[in-house]
Amino acid sequence: MVFEIPKIEYSGQIKKVTLGSDNSAVTVGGETSYPFHLFEGGVPNLPRIAMEIYDTPPDDWPEAALAPFEGVIDDPVNWAKKCIDEYNAEMICLQLLSTDPNGLDRSAEEATAVVKKVVDAIEIPLIVWGTANHEKDTEVLRKVCEVCQGKRLVIGPVEEGDYKKIAAAALGYDHTVIASSPIDINLAKQLNILLGNLGIPEEHIIMDPTVSSIGYGIEYCYSVMERIRMAALTQQDDKLQLPIICNIAKETWKTKEVKTPETEEPKLGDAKKRGILMEAMSALVLLLAGGDVVVMRHPEAIKLIREIITELTTS
């Protein structure tokens, strides 16, 4: 008798969502099986990595994270280009840190000008990530949607508390929204329903279930994502059949384990290696749970993840 790997019967499929416009557009989603279960079903689109850049020089990044971007961190356009030219980025995620009302509190106009410059300078999909402050994001992201009409941006986070106005602008100017909910399958689903009620087509939504680093509750995120995929693929829950994006880099690089220099805590070992591994392993966990897009930072961590994806998907 020949051994047969037991197979799961799937009844659902993740929607395909196309990010970006024209020739450079990238399609994610479309899975008919659990992550990397190539032996069971189709994984038509492999997971993608978006490289993050900031609209203002970050002041809390450890040395190891800054080094690869030396000379460009004060210019988002050059930063994006460096990611593309040197590190082969497939997508860029622009984090609008400077708009934080508790920080620099830059105006919607200023932020929009930066987004516009970046989007005009690159030919790959652009994700624009706000600060999760409802009032400010509403102001900023609506403006961004308007000014970047036709660029098919990926705009977020869109949360229950601010979804209406931001999503309406995204709908009006033809962008994709990031439906962001706080680590709960029901809340994720509820937001998708609300967005649907607003008239946002499903192929314009990507879900952000909220993620955290290894050591900071990633098991919980894993479990929620796993349940989302089970509901979507085996329980015909069409409100959850959407691709997932994980904004993980900033979560890993802010942890104590990554930020503490080797001089302070020799036992922890090489700080650069630590940071890279923490980022890569966190990203891997989330990919295994069902992430379709991971937002990453360090080129070496990205390289590692690319290799793993290749290994897991070539027979």
Partner 1 sequence: MAINSKCPRHNVHFEPDNIIIQVDTGANLMETAIAAGVHINASCGGAGVCGTCNVLVKSGQVESTRTDKVSQIDYNNGIRQACQTRVFSDLNIEIPVGSRLEKAVLSREIEELSTQKPVALVSGWSFKPPVEKVCLDLPIPTIDDNVSDLSRLLRVIKQRCNLENISVNADILSGLARILRKYNWQLTATILLETNSNYRVINIEPGDTRKSHYSLAFDIGTTAVRGQLLDLNRGMVISHCVDYNRQISYGEDVISRIAWSQKTGGLKRLQEAVTATLNDLIKRLINSAGVEFQSISYMVVAANTVMTQLLTGLDPKYLRLSPYVPTISSVPLLKAKSIGINTEEHVHLYIVPSVASYVGGDIVAGILGAGVHQSDETILYIDIGTNGEIVIGNSEIMLAASCSAGPTFEGGGIKHGMIATSGAIEGFEINSLDFEPVVSTIDNAKAKGICGSGLINVAAKLLESGIITQNGKINTDFSTKRIRKGEDGYEYVLCKKAKTQIGKDIVITEIDLDNLMRSKAAMYAGYQTLAKSMGINLTNIDRVIIAGTFGNNIDIKNAITIGLLPDLPRERFVFIGNGSLLGSRLISFSSDLLFDGETIARKMTNIELSENVEFMSNYMAALFLPHTNMKEFPSVSIKKGK
* Binding interface with partner 1 (CB under 8 A): 160, 164, 184, 186-187, 189-190, 193-194, 196-199, 237, 239
Among the listed residues 98, 102, 172, 79, the one whose alpha carbon sits nearest the alpha carbon of residue 140? 98
Give the list of residues 6+ apart from residue 82 with CB closer than 8 angstroms, or none. Answer: 69, 72
**Nearest distance, CB of residue 207 and partner 1, angstroms:** 14
Between 104 and 193, CB nearer to partner 1: 193
Between 188 and 206, CB nearer to partner 1: 188
Among the listed residues 166, 162, 249, 246, the one whose alpha carbon sits nearest the alpha carbon of residue 204? 166
Give the integer Cα–Cα distance in Å for 37 and 193: 28
The distance from CA 219 to its chain's CA centroid, rounded to whole angstroms, is 18
Amino acid at 105: D
Between 44 and 196, CB nearer to partner 1: 196
Between 67 and 193, CB nearer to partner 1: 193
**Nearest distance, CB of residue 157 and partner 1, angstroms:** 16
**Nearest distance, CB of residue 198 and partner 1, angstroms:** 4
**Nearest distance, CB of residue 187 and partner 1, angstroms:** 7
Q: How many Cβ atoms from other residues are within 10 Å of residue 267's Cβ?
A: 5
Among the listed residues 97, 45, 54, the one whose alpha carbon sits nearest the alpha carbon of residue 206? 45
**Nearest distance, CB of residue 199 and partner 1, angstroms:** 4
Between 26 and 187, CB nearer to partner 1: 187
